[in-house]
Structure formats: structure tokens, C-alpha cells
């Protein structure tokens, strides 16, 4: 029987006022209940905000290096629990063991990174125009920040929001996705063990309509950081900005890789396959469009179909590609596969839900490749959060770039080319916040900014690196005449 995990409010583990819980099941075997969490209400979320507001001054007044000591210990605790958390992530979300282990390590690295950054925080000294004057800035925490995180990176994304928020001295309220809240819960356990100020971090599990809405609209919240779908993100943005809260929204993508005629086609197929089918295509930066020069189109199609067919599907603890996270996510992917076929795209690989044996109960779909896709088809325009790739032929670089930018999203984009002129033009002209050259659209470094253009982002503040701290601080400029 799965343990029931409580909320964390004001430094205490507490039961939701509703008395209700929700089970999280293993997507590879949905009859297996992995964990059970509180199904909280708006009132529970409001209590968490109150606890954060009451603790904000005490945590914000803690010297930054001392805050860093707490974050460093959190990273160490997570490192000690790495194998346990890797298994939990695989069981709740469905990632392969290798993918889950990499994500847990990312969370460890993020806490260690921001622990180090706390020693460089404070502000800047500038040269004044007159004598007998000091001129400088002081960086202060924003206050209480609400963090609303998704299920597809259930430990990395909470880490890259919580660590800079806490490093900067803010008090935090966190709502992880109900589908896979366990890894975020483990971070809060580590913060508790590391001795963080009571109320400086608070976690409430429950539906977005209750907990998420309260976190976005509560008057005592100063800033909201959200990662998830564009549809939900735009709604949260509207809620949060009604009273001029600071907001940071990272949302969907329709990420392309351009494969040009100068590319090594085998290398290009490896790059695209990794971006399209890794983490079961359940990444906002996943490659969902391969825009391929007509001179290498047929060769590329043969290569990418071969790679899709070679992927070994099954439970994440043993196989190369795991299941989708829920039945509804699987149904959404299968619906897009039907739509693509109905619109006239040619199914070149996959497209089915495998049956029998290890697939009997899990939420599996084959890696899928559609060819002869036209740029205005829904499969080429709308986000499909699964392992589905649309291959679009183009005549030249100019057409490739036009197709690349002709979507409402602008998160990640890459080009595979050995033509330096094309590469330099692509870096300048592509409408995306993450630009990759001869690499997959997926995969991020933790110490550089991350964010998108257009409907992939609110285009307000970036995450990660120094940019991640910018969102969580506000500057005062001090003119000191002595």
C-alpha cells in the first residue's frame, strides 16, 4: 500500500482540510499505486501563502551565504538519495532509468550551483558624478513567490525555480503537478532536513483550479513562475497580472530541426531521433518537426524511420523509451496521429499502441514518423506532447527558415548543416529563445538563460543561470552623500 504524503506548511507536515487524497499510478503498470498525495483546496493554499508571507522577512534577512549553506546541504541530501529518487521518478512519470537519473543529477547540480551564487549577491557599485558620494544598487528579494510546475520534469523544474528563489531570499509556495509530485515533495523534505526557516518553503498538492488559482491570485503573493501548456499558462498570466504581480511563464513549443543539403544525414538522423523520441517526446523542447532539404529528403526519411523502428519500448527501468505519463496524454497523441493521417500525411513509422506482453496495461505508443507533411497541417502547427515527428520537405534554406518560423511557438530550434553562411543566418533569423547548431533541440545547460519567444513564453524573464536570479530580485538604487 502506498504511503500518503502530506502538505508542508509553516515548517510542518500537515493534512489537507478536505481530508481527500489522490493516487499516483505507474504509467507502465497503471494498476500499481506508487504514492498517494493530498487533494487540497484553495483554503489550504491560502494557509501556505500566509505562512510564506509571515516567514519572508526572516528568511530574506538571513545572510545570503547562510542561505547558500542550506541549498548546498539540500544538494548533498538529494545526492545521497539519488538512486531512490531516480526509481521514484521512473515509477511516477515513466522516464527510463537513465533519463530519470540524469534529471535527478540536474536537480543536485542546480542546488549546488545556486548555493555558490549566494556569495556573489548584493548589488553593484557605480561611479558617481560628484565627489563625496557613493552610488550603488542593492538587490532585495521580491517577497512571496508562487511556483507552479509540470509533470514532465518533476524534479528538475521545481529545482530550477526553488533554488534561485530561495537563494535570493524569497519565501516560496510550490504546487507541483498532481500526476507526479513525488520528486518535488522530496526536495521539500530535503529543505526541511537542511533546516530552512519555517515557512520559507511550502508545498501544497491539489488541482490547478483550486491550489493553482489561489497561488496566482492571492494578494500576498508578489510573483508567479509557471511552466506548463500555453493554454493554462495564458490563463495563469491573466490571473496573476490582474493586480500587477511579477510573472514568468514558460510554455509550449513546436520545435524544428532544419536538415540542410550539406549535412551528414546519418548524424542528422541521430540528432533528430534523440530530440523527437527521447523522454517519450514529453518535453517542451522536443523536436516535433524535421524540415529537410529536398536533396537529402529521401535519405533522411530512410534513416529516421530506421532509428524509430530500432527503439526498444517498455517499462523505464529496463527499456530505451518508456510510456506516456497518463492515459489522457496517450489518447491525445493517438488523436493527433489520426488527424495527421486524415489530413494526408504519410505514416512512415509507428503510429500504433503496441499490444500484448509488457504493453498490456501501460500507456505506450510507438515512435512515430510522418512524411510528406505540409506546413499548414495541424501536425506541423500544434504541439503534440508525445514521440511524433513531422518531416517536411523544402527546396532551399530560405524556404526552410520560413517554415521554421511559421508557427505560434518559439522555444527551441536547431539546424544541422556544414554551411557556415546558413548557420550564421539561422542564428540571426530564427524566432526561438534556444538556438542549437548541429545539436538536438533538447538538452539545456543550467548556467545560461532559458526561455522562448511568441506563445512559448511571456517574454518577461528568463530562467536558469544569472537570469534565474533576476526574476527573484528587485533593485534599489542608493545615492549616499557623505
Residues carrying an active site annotation: 250
The Cα–Cα gap between 304 and 309 comes to: 9
Provide the b/e sequence for 189-216 (b: ≥16 CB within 10 Å).
Answer: bbbbebebbbbbbbbbbbebebbbbbbb
Question: DSSP of 87-114, one letter per residue?
Answer: HHHHHHH---HHHHHHHHHHHHHHHHHH
Question: Residue 121 half-sphere exposure, CB side, CA atoms within 13 Å?
Answer: 33
Q: Which residues fall within 8 angstroms of residue 273, CB to CB, at 6 or more apart?
A: 304, 307, 308, 311, 367
Q: What whole-number distance in Å separates Cα of residue 467 and Cα of residue 462?
A: 6
Q: In 260-404, where do the E strands start and end? A: 287-293, 346-349, 368-371, 388-394
Residue 209 three-state SS:
helix
Cβ atoms < 10 Å from Cβ of 426 = 24
Q: Is the dihedral of CA 82, 85, 91, 94 positive or negative?
A: negative
Q: Would you say 412 and 442 are in contact if contact means Cβ atoms under 8 Å apart?
A: yes
Amino acid at each position: 500500500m502506498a504511503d500518503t504524503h502530506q502538505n508542508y506548511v509553516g515548517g510542518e507536515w500537515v493534512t489537507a482540510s478536505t481530508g481527500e487524497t489522490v493516487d499516483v499510478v505507474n504509467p507502465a503498470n497503471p494498476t500499481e499505486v506508487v504514492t498517494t498525495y493530498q487533494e487540497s483546496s484553495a483554503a489550504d493554499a491560502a494557509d501556505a501563502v500566509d505562512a510564506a508571507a509571515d516567514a519572508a522577512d526572516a528568511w530574506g534577512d538571513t545572510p545570503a551565504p547562510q542561505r547558500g549553506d542550506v541549498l548546498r546541504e539540500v544538494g548533498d541530501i538529494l545526492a545521497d538519495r539519488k538512486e531512490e529518487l531516480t526509481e521514484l521518478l521512473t515509477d511516477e512519470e515513466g522516464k527510463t532509468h537513465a533519463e530519470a537519473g540524469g534529471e535527478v543529477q540536474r536537480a543536485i547540480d542546480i542546488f549546488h550551483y545556486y548555493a555558490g551564487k549566494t556569495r556573489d549577491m548584493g548589488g553593484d557599485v557605480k561611479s558617481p558624478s560628484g565627489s563625496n558620494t557613493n552610488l550603488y544598487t542593492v538587490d532585495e528579494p521580491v517577497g512571496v513567490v508562487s511556483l507552479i510546475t509540470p509533470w514532465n520534469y518533476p524534479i528538475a523544474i521545481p529545482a530550477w525555480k526553488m533554488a534561485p528563489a530561495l537563494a535570493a531570499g524569497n519565501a516560496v509556495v510550490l504546487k507541483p503537478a498532481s500526476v507526479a509530485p513525488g520528486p518535488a515533495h522530496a526536495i521539500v523534505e530535503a529543505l526541511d532536513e537542511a533546516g530552512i526557516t519555517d515557512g520559507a518553503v511550502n508545498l501544497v498538492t491539489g488541482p490547478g483550479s483550486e491550489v493553482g488559482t489561489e497561488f496566482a491570485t492571492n494578494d500576498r503573493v508578489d510573483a508567479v513562475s509557471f511552466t506548463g501548456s500555453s493554454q493554462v499558462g495564458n490563463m495563469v498570466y491573466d490571473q496573476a497580472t490582474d493586480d500587477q504581480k511579477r510573472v514568468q511563464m514558460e510554455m509550449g513549443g513546436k520545435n524544428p530541426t532544419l536538415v540542410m543539403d550539406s549535412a551528414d544525414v546519418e548524424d542528422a538522423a541521430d540528432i533528430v531521433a534523440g530530440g523527437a523520441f527521447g523522454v517519450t517526446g514529453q518535453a517542451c523542447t522536443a523536436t516535433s518537426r524535421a524540415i529537410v532539404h529536398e536533396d537529402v529528403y529521401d535519405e533522411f526519411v530512410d534513416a529516421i524511420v530506421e532509428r524509430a523502428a530500432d527503439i526498444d519500448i517498455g517499462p523505464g527501468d529496463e527499456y530505451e523509451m518508456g510510456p506516456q505519463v497518463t492515459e489522457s496524454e496517450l489518447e491525445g497523441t493517438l488523436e493527433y496521429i489520426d488527424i495527421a493521417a486524415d489530413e494526408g500525411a504519410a505514416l512512415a513509422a509507428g503510429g500504433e499502441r503496441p499490444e500484448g506482453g509488457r504493453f498490456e496495461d501501460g500507456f505506450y505508443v510507438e515512435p512515430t514518423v510522418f512524411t510528406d507533411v505540409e506546413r499548414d497541417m495541424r501536425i506541423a502547427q500544434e504541439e503534440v506532447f508525445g514521440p511524433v515527428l513531422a518531416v517536411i520537405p523544402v527546396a532551399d534554406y530560405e524556404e526552410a527558415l520560413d517554415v521554421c518560423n511559421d508557427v505560434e511557438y518559439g522555444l527551441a530550434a536547431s539546424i544541422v548543416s556544414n554551411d557556415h553562411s546558413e548557420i550564421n543566418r539561422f542564428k540571426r533569423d530564427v524566432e526561438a529563445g534556444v538556438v542549437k547548431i548541429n545539436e538536438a533541440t533538447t538538452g539545456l545547460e543550467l548556467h545560461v538563460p532559458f526561455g522562448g519567444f511568441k506563445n512559448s513564453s511571456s517574454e518577461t524573464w528568463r530562467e536558469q543561470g544569472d537570469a534565474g536570479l533576476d526574476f527573484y530580485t528587485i533593485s534599489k538604487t542608493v545615492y549616499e552623500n557623505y
